[in-house]
Amino acid sequence: MDTYSNPLVTRYASKEMLEMFAEKKRIGLFRRLWLALASAQKELGLNITEEQISELACNLDNINFDDALRQEKLVRHDVMAHIYAYSLQCPLAAPIIHLGATSCYVTDNADLIIYYNAFKIVAEKLLSVMANLSNFALKYKDLPTLGYTHLQPAQLVTVGKRATLWLQDFLLDYNNITDFSNNFKLRGIKGTTGTQASFLQLFEGDHKKVLQLQDKILKKMGFAQSFGVSGQTYTRKYDYNIISLLSMVAQSASKFANDIRILQNMKEIEEPFETSQIGSSAMAYKRNPMRCERISSLARYLISLPINCATTASTQWLERTLDDSANRRIVMGQAFLTVDAILELMLNVTSGLVVYPKIIAKHIEQELPFMATENILMQCVKAGGNRQKLHELIRVHSMAAGKRVKEEGKDNDLIERILADDTFKPIHSNLKDILSAKNYIGRSSEQVDEFVKEFIAPIIESLPLKTGGELKV
C-alpha cells in the first residue's frame, strides 16, 4: 500500500474485465498475431518450416516477462523487447518472427481484439440489466405514481412505465454496441506507413499474395474485416467511436441513478440496503443511495472521455505520430473498466430495488385532487351544472386548498371542500370512482407489456443472464 493503486482495479471493475486488459492477455495476442503472420506466410510460399510454426505455437502463453522487461530497459521499445523474449523461447523461429511487420501490426490489432472481446462483456451485462429492469417494469406496470415534468408533479404514470424509459435507453446502447461489433474491423497487415511495401517485396511483387496474406491473417484471428487503408496505425477516430459507445452506456446509467436518488429522497423507491450497511459515520439512521451515487460518479468520468479521444484523433500528423500511445494506454482500458464497474453496480441495484406503494399513494393523494378537477367539472356539467360557475368554484376551492398545503403545511382538503359544497352534489356519490388513480394513467400498463414483448423479450429470452452484480465497497 506504499504506492498509488488505481481504484478501478482495486475497488470497482470485475475480475473478468481486469483480466481482459491484463498485460498477459495483450502479449498473448501479440504472439498469436506473430503466429498467424508466420503461418500465413508459410502457406503462401515463404521459406518457413513446420518446426518453426510449432515452436511459436507451443510458447503462446508461457510469456517470459522478466526477459522482456530487461530488454526494454536497454532498447526502449516494448515490441522489440517482446520479440526478443519470444525469440529466447523459440530459437528456431527467431529469424522469422515479425517478418515484414511494423510494431502496430501487433499493438493495434491486439488492442482492437481486446476491445472487441471487452464489448462482449459489456453487452452481456447490459442484457442482464435490461432483464432486471424488464422484470421490475412488468411487476409494477399497474402501480400508479406521480409523473414529473420540470421535477414538478404532472399527470400520473406507473412505476413500471417509468422503468421502461430507463430500459429503452439501455436498449439503444445495446443495439448500438451490437451493430458496431457486428461490423468490427482490425487494422490488418498494412506495413510501416500503410502501403504494404515490405510484404510486396517479400512476395516479389505479387500483389495477389499480399491481399491473400491479409485475408488469411484475419481468418486465423477470427475476424472478417479490416480497414480499407491505414497509415502506420488504424484511424484514431475509431477509438472515438468506441469510447462514445461506452459514454452512452454511462449516460443511461447516470440518468437511472439520478432518478433513483430523487425517488429515494421522496421515500418512494430505494436501492438495496444491506443489513449491516452503514449510511453515515455520524447519522446512524441514514440510508444513503451510495450505489447510485457511485454510478453517477463513475459515469461522470466516462462521459468526459470522448473529448479526449476526439483530440487524439484530430492531432495525428500525416501517417502517424506517437503522442497517441501513452494517452491510449490510459484512456482505452480505463474506459472499459469504468463501464464495467458501472454495469456491476447497475446489476446490483436493479436486482434489488425496493418500492414503497403506500408512500407513493400518499403523494398521489396530495396532488390527484387538483388533477381530477377537470373530470369533476365534466361530470357535473353532464349532470346539468353550469360550466362557468363550476369552473370558478373549483378555482376558488383549489386556491384555498393550495394555500393550506403551502402556507399552513396541512393536508390537501380540496375533496372535503367539494363534498361540503352542494353545487357539486350530483357527483358526491361517485367521487371515489372519479378519484381512482388508475383513471389517470392512460395506457401505461399496456405500454409496458407492449414494449417488453416487442423490443426486449426477443433479445433476452434465449440468452444466459446475470441477475446481480458483485458489490465492492
* Residue 152 host element (H or E): strand 152-158
Tell me the three cell numbers of residue 108.
Answer: 493495434
Provide the CB-side half-sphere exposure for 198 (13 A, CA).
Answer: 14
**Are 268 and 141 within 8 A, CB to CB?**
no
Distance, C-alpha 461 to centroid of its chain = 20
Catalytically active residues are: 150, 280
SS3 394: helix
Alpha-carbon distances of 289 from 105, 147, 250, 263, 280, rounded to whole Å = 46, 21, 18, 10, 11
CA distance 170 to 346: 11
- Output 85-88 pairs: Cβ under 8 A, ≥24 positions apart: 86/31, 86/34, 86/56, 86/59, 88/64
CA distance 71 to 82: 8
SS3 429: helix
The rounded radius of gyration (Å) of the Cα atoms in the chain is 31
Alpha-carbon distances of 240 from 31, 58, 125, 174, 265, rounded to whole Å = 27, 37, 22, 18, 37
Placement of cell 510484404 in the chain: 199
For residue 125, give the nearest of 20, 29, 23 by alpha carbon.
20
